[in-house]
Chains A and B, each alone.
Chain A
Amino acid sequence: MVLVSRRPEWPEISFEERIGTTRFDVHERAHIVVDGSVCTDCSTRECIVACPANLFVPTADGGIVFNYEQCFECGTCYLVCNREGAITWTYPEGGHGVVFART
């Protein structure tokens, strides 16, 4: 018998399913706002790969779409982004945002 290491088996999970395992009590005010006009001439785009919640989505015309709703409030994005004014970052209203359970 030849022993080859196989790719382990677990159910494929889409990003939507993954983030769907975490609870978010979304407030109507966006606690993080991204100014797309600053992003259009950003070539490094660290936010896209670094945001653990995958909230920065590039658009065909070179912009960025951002949705604040399923956000961990971690702070990674404002740290990796070097463009002044691109990200306005605050915490959500008290009692809203991510609610962890088994972390």
Chain B
Amino acid sequence: MLLERGPFAGSKNMYGGVVYPRILDQFHPNWWEEVPIQRWITRRSTMVLTATQAMTVDFRTQAWGEPPYNGATAYRPDFDHWLAGKAEADGAVLVTSTTALGLLRDEAGRIAGVRTDRPDGDIHADVVIACDGVNSFLAKEADLFGPGQTEAGNYTVGVKETIALPKDVIDERFGVRDREGVDIEILGGTGGVNGGGFLYTNLDTLAVGVVLKLPALGAQPRRPEEIIADLKAHAAIAPLVEGGTIVEYSAHLIPEAGRSMMPRLTTDGMLVAGDAAAMCLAAGIWLEGVNFAMASGIYAGEAAADALRAGDTSAAGLAGYERRLGDTFVLRDHEKLRRAPGLVLSDRVQHHYPQMIANVVERVFRVENPRPKPGFRRIVREERKRAGIGLRDLARDAWAGIRSFG
């Protein structure tokens, strides 16, 4: 049984966003023929912004525009609804408009189902899979988080505008055709709050938004919609979004701290998956969570089925879940990138390096004849000092970067 508190699966869900559905290959070969996506990402840009400058690394490949594809923009209300339909076709019973209020326990204190807000709404189950998202009250009630893991500092809030523009205008502005799409990740551009920005192309809308660090957002004066307005007004962004109409405004939390905030994933009678277990990978150049949620959900389902067959749904009987996670990208990517979130949200990466890089590039390409071109090394040294970055910090961050991303 699949419980969903919204009127349909996907109705409560918001993200950037780009989905990476390759995990579905094994269950639904040729999923791309029916998945309700907006555009296939064939162009990916990473943009570094300062108040008046922008430096973009822009990559394009036609390979991502044909099967088996790579990523696609999609509306979650469409995508999640479709995915839930797949689960139903495979025998799951989807019960919508039903909120799980808490856990049921048997005489021995083991988790034995959930209480819902329906009349006579107790649902008894041998295994509960808590995939109730970033706020997971089920994982909290089961006491699976360690001290400090659910502190505000481990979260960011994502706020976005869906902006309508005619398809041909989007095609022209972003240099794409047909179902080709663009993914722009933005470092800088969030004013005094550490975080980042994003701009994605849907068929006839753009998704423009910011991801803002908590609790810092609350300790400064700019509101989220003002920070988005500033980003949209940036000289590098304005020509892309100008003239569009806001057709939806939305917000959602992100568990940002990766591995360090993951709760215990298994307890007697319960598994925790997806954002409920902080499995979202938010590491600067990557922002992935839907694929982690789908994969962990698959592995939780398989482990639960094994445990039911073996007649042992204790934590020991459910151990196949973490074994599967550990063998696959779900925990491996998180292990590898466990230092990345802290590095990406540090002041140097957020403010000092973008300023330094942009100034270096500006000077390298500025022609000030009759003066000869200055040496590259000298420019870097001067701009590093101007941005207030010590050599030792630079070396330490470079090493941390290599260890985090290498």
Using CB atoms and an 8 Å cutoff, list the residues of chain A in contact with chain B.
5, 7-11, 13, 15, 18-19, 21-22, 25, 44-47, 49-50, 52-54, 72-76, 79-80, 91-95, 97-103
- Bound: A25/B5 CA distance, A: 13
A92 contacts which chain B residues (CB < 8 A)?
99
Q: Which of B242-250, B356-364, B369-377 contacts the other chain?
A: B242-250
- The reply to whether A18 and B218 form a contact with Cβ atoms under 8 Å apart is no
Leading 6 A-B pairs by shortest Cβ distance: A46-B218, A95-B97, A52-B251, A8-B238, A103-B14, A50-B218
Q: Find B215's partner among A21, A74, A80 (CB 8 Å cutoff).
A: A80
Q: Find A98's partner among B12, B235, B243 (CB 8 Å cutoff).
A: B12
Q: Find A72's partner among B219, B245, B250 (CB 8 Å cutoff).
A: B250
- Bound: A44/B202 CA distance, A: 39
Q: A49-B220, A50-B215, A103-B162 are in contact. List 12 more A-B contacts (CB 8 A).
A: A8-B233, A10-B243, A25-B7, A72-B251, A76-B217, A98-B11, A98-B250, A99-B12, A103-B13, A103-B14, A103-B17, A103-B250
Give the residue name and chain of the A residue nearest to B38 (CB). A102
Q: Which of B76, B207, B251 has the most CB of A within 10 A?
A: B251
- Bound: A92/B232 CA distance, A: 33
**Smallest Cβ distance from A94 to chain B, in angstroms?**
4
Q: Which of B107-115, B221-229, B343-351 contacts the other chain?
A: B221-229
- The reply to whether A99 and B11 form a contact with Cβ atoms under 8 Å apart is yes
- Bound: A63/B12 CA distance, A: 31
Using CB atoms and an 8 Å cutoff, list the residues of chain B in contact with chain A.
5-7, 10-15, 17, 52, 75-77, 96-99, 116-118, 134-135, 152, 155, 157, 159-160, 162, 202, 205, 207, 214-215, 217-225, 232-233, 235, 238-239, 241-253
Given contacts A50-B218, A79-B155, contact A102 B248 (CB under 8 A): yes
Given contacts A21-B246, A94-B99, A99-B6, contact A76 B157 (CB under 8 A): yes
- The reply to whether B99 and A93 form a contact with Cβ atoms under 8 Å apart is yes
- The reply to whether A50 and B242 form a contact with Cβ atoms under 8 Å apart is no
Q: Find A50's partner among B52, B205, B214 (CB 8 Å cutoff).
A: B214
- The reply to whether A49 and B218 form a contact with Cβ atoms under 8 Å apart is yes
- Return 18 A-B CB contacts under 8 Å, by A number: A11-B245, A19-B249, A45-B218, A46-B215, A49-B222, A52-B157, A76-B253, A79-B214, A80-B217, A97-B12, A99-B6, A100-B11, A100-B13, A100-B76, A101-B77, A102-B75, A103-B162, A103-B250
- Bound: A22/B161 CA distance, A: 10
A45 contacts which chain B residues (CB < 8 A)?
218
Q: Find A79's partner among B13, B152, B160, B246 (CB 8 Å cutoff).
A: B152
- Bound: A98/B6 CA distance, A: 8
A54 contacts which chain B residues (CB < 8 A)?
223, 225
Given contacts A73-B12, A74-B253, contact A18 B75 (CB under 8 A): no
- Bound: A54/B251 CA distance, A: 12
**Smallest Cβ distance from B224 to chain A, in angstroms?**
5
**Smallest Cβ distance from B316 to chain A, in angstroms?**
32
